[in-house]
Chains A and B, each alone.
Chain A
């Protein structure tokens, strides 16, 4: 069958459409989903595009089921994914927890909407805590927070590859703005760019007689003894810690001699970049740090930057401190005062950040 994307092509589309193209290019076999705004069009585009290239789709009865069917398809050796938002993300934490326990490479696209509860269907960054540390586990997940449509494309492909390579549930954390806006990007065939595409394989029903030719395959999410579970979780943590340095990603703008460091993630980092450019033009030594991976958090890199003369840090997010909490636990012990600009559920523009920075230095 023809490849869905050959070479490189410039396009102008919504973030949701971008996800569908990226999942196709990444070789996803099947999507399971349940409708919720603002991710609906991922399903719409996937059903329209995927069927042309022999891919499958199943709409389940709810998000719990969508999450578990993704787990099932993965156990059967299929690159499976889902997409959700808000209350749907809440419901999916149970299957995502099972994926953590069984090391299933689930891929989920989260288009954050306002909360708590149904909140708004529009936009927020209020699903950071849920996506990084949701479920009754230790947050053994990979979470990419994208800022542009190009990144939605790049990181959706990367999410499939790293999920299958490292065997941790992997998330692309977008938001309603990114879902619904149109902007230019390049879509491409990842293999033509020498991106190694991980080939999926079944986790059960393996060849060879159990106990004679191979060890039995245990995909376990419950244990009889607390000591057994203890061993398993410590093992998970050790593997997560080992993998973390290979996965941590971040971006810096004018961090080198920054005295005030603006920290934000996702779509808000676009405004932070503009704000820093503006402040620098006025002679204010501002810089911007942006974690791309929220799990594992690039705490080491941030600590290094903080030691280069940063006098104040300003955490900016469309939530009431979810990034701030994530960040502060990572840099515990650093001596830089932390200020915040917290605007839960609403967009943040460069002017908001500029006036906050100015209020801090005067």
Chain B
């Protein structure tokens, strides 16, 4: 596979770093080369939290990068903060519920994609919002098999699943929901899609 680069960004507590860590763990267990690095600054809480994830077959160079294959913004503030990571080949994804202005959107992109993940998470459980996003990213990149991601989820959250097996089902479902949201959106033809500007 070629190198896949992902930026996940959201508010503290939305689970951006957990989602990136789970995908990185899954990639590692699959025998892929992978690097995951959080951005970290002075803020203990309250800032936009960004995760940089790379998955490939060859040894990966720099831990950060300028342009991603997929940018997933989990909050409106995160859009403005991460639009710089969008280049001519980037899929820039955000939630349909955000009131988007032009300043929130990147000037360069391959595709701008909005999915109703917030809405769907309310039907499931808002705590698995990040797992829905993870499913969407996996569908867009196909960088890791779903099974490997399930195993990584088990590794990270297994102790919680033991106490409450419903959580496991909920997480699995959330991942499938995320994948389906992207599939439907790509079929639906409603999305904003334009050639590189």
Contacts and interface: CB of A to CB of B under 8 A. Distances in A.
Interface in B1-47: 21, 24-25, 28, 33-42
Interface in A160-184: 176-178, 180-184
Given A271-B62, A349-B62, A350-B62, A181 B36 contact: yes
Given A181-B35, A182-B24, A182-B36, A122 B63 contact: no
Chain A interface, >50% SS class? mixed
A95 B25 CA distance: 40
B8 to A, nearest CB: 14
A180 B40 contact: yes
B62 A348 contact: yes
B37 A180 contact: yes
A271 B21 CA distance: 23
A181 B63 contact: yes
A274 interface: yes
B174 to A, nearest CB: 23
Nearest to A183: B35
B64 interface: yes
B60 interface: yes
A53 interface: no
A17 B61 CA distance: 20
Contacts of A38: 40
Chain B interface size, as a band, is 20 to 34
Contact of B41 (A121, A178, A268, A348): A121
Contacts of A348: 62
Interface in B28-86: 28, 33-42, 60-66
Contacts of A177: 37, 63-64
A309 to B, nearest CB: 26
Interface in A112-130: 120-122
B42 A121 contact: yes
A121 B40 contact: yes
B61 A182 contact: no
A64 to B, nearest CB: 24
A122 B40 contact: yes
Contacts of A267: 62-63
A350 B66 CA distance: 10
Contacts of A184: 28, 33-34
Residue from B35, B38, B60, B63 whose CB has the most chain A CB atoms within 10 Å? B63
Contacts of A274: 61-62
A270 B62 contact: yes
B40 A271 contact: no
A347 interface: yes
Nearest to A177: B63
Interface of A: 12, 37-38, 120-122, 176-178, 180-184, 267-268, 270-271, 273-274, 347-351
7 contacts: A12-B25, A176-B40, A177-B63, A180-B37, A182-B34, A183-B35, A183-B36
Q: Which 4 A-B pairs have the closest CB atoms?
A: A181-B37, A274-B61, A12-B28, A270-B61
Given A121-B41, A182-B35, A183-B63, 10 more contacts: A177-B63, A182-B36, A182-B37, A184-B28, A184-B34, A271-B62, A273-B61, A347-B63, A349-B65, A350-B61
Interface of B: 21, 24-25, 28, 33-42, 60-66
